[in-house]
Amino acid sequence: MRALKTAHEQGREIPPFKLAFSQETLQRLSSFLPRYEKALTEYQNTYKKQVSNQKEFQHRLKKARLYISHFIQVVNMSIMRGEMPQKTREYYGMTKEDKKLPSLNTEQDIIDWGKKIIKGEEERKKSGLPPVTNPTIAVVKVNYDNFMDAYHFQKQLQENHQRSSAQIHELRKEADQIISSIWDEVEKTFSGESDQQKRAKAKDYGVVYFYRKNELGRLNFQHINNNSGISPF
């Protein structure tokens, strides 16, 4: 962005006959820059929304996990006390001998087990069996539904961010081409100058130079992009 803006500022301030790169390239730059800035803004906004919603999402996730866990523990303790038969576990997708609390570590675990116990408790109630209490399935369902709302919203935010990231990736290819064209044209324009003067004038257009093996050369933009790990943003 800095390279693009520097060249664009020169294009606005310097008359066409004095500009070190072509009007065709300037027009291409002028057309591209607003699109790139808009895409970057969208990318940053989608990332911020995703991050800001993460705290609320994690809160609802923990609440859903807690109530699902407590519900299953209450069922197991009731069976242990002889208040419910072992086959009660089968309503909730467990084997009647399974005394262990199922894994609730992932989001998918919460989704799957929430469905199972809500469906299972509804079937028990339809059969005329007394409901599990403390927590009741109604309280579990409220927290489960809250989690599912947050889950779907977070997934939508992630998709929005991935889509804007993909757009940036595609635009970056064009940005690289434009920068390369500008730098090539600028250096060609100043090719008749001494090395020191050429570098000084080219730097005004955003061309970056660096030392390598005791030789001052132009920064290889594509090499930096591919190999240095520098962020494309």
pLDDT band at 32 (very low <50, low <70, confident <90, very high): very high
The structural domains of the chain, with segments of one domain joined by +, span 2-227
pLDDT band at 214 (very low <50, low <70, confident <90, very high): low
Please report the DSSP string for 38-51 in residue order.
HHHHHHHHHHHHHH
Q: Which residues on adjacent β-strands are paired with residue 217? A: 210
Evaluated on CA atoms 30, 31, 32, 34, the torsion sign reads: positive
Per-residue tokens: 118: 């809500």
Q: Is the pLDDT of residue 149 over 60?
A: yes
Predicted confidence (pLDDT) per residue in 105-147, tens digit: 999 999 999 999 999 999 999 999 999 999 999 999 999 999 9
Query: Who's near 35: CB < 8 A, 6+ residues apart?
Result: 171
The percent of residues in the chain predicted with pLDDT above 70, rounded, is 90
pLDDT band at 228 (very low <50, low <70, confident <90, very high): very low
Structural contact between residues 135 and 71, judged by C-beta atoms closer than 8 angstroms: yes
Q: Is the pLDDT of residue 9 over 50?
A: yes
Predicted confidence (pLDDT) per residue in 57-96, tens digit: 999 999 999 999 999 999 999 999 999 999 999 999 999 9
Predicted confidence (pLDDT) per residue in 198-212, tens digit: 989 999 999 988 766
Query: Who's near 75: CB < 8 A, 6+ residues apart?
Result: 84, 88, 89, 92, 132
Q: Which residues on adjacent β-strands are paired with residue 215? A: 212
Q: Stretch 18-29: mean pLDDT, rounded?
A: 96
Query: Who's near 193: CB < 8 A, 6+ residues apart?
Result: 201
Q: Which residues on adjacent β-strands are paired with residue 210? A: 217
Instruction: Give the span between the Cα atoms of 188 and 190, in whole angstroms.
Output: 5
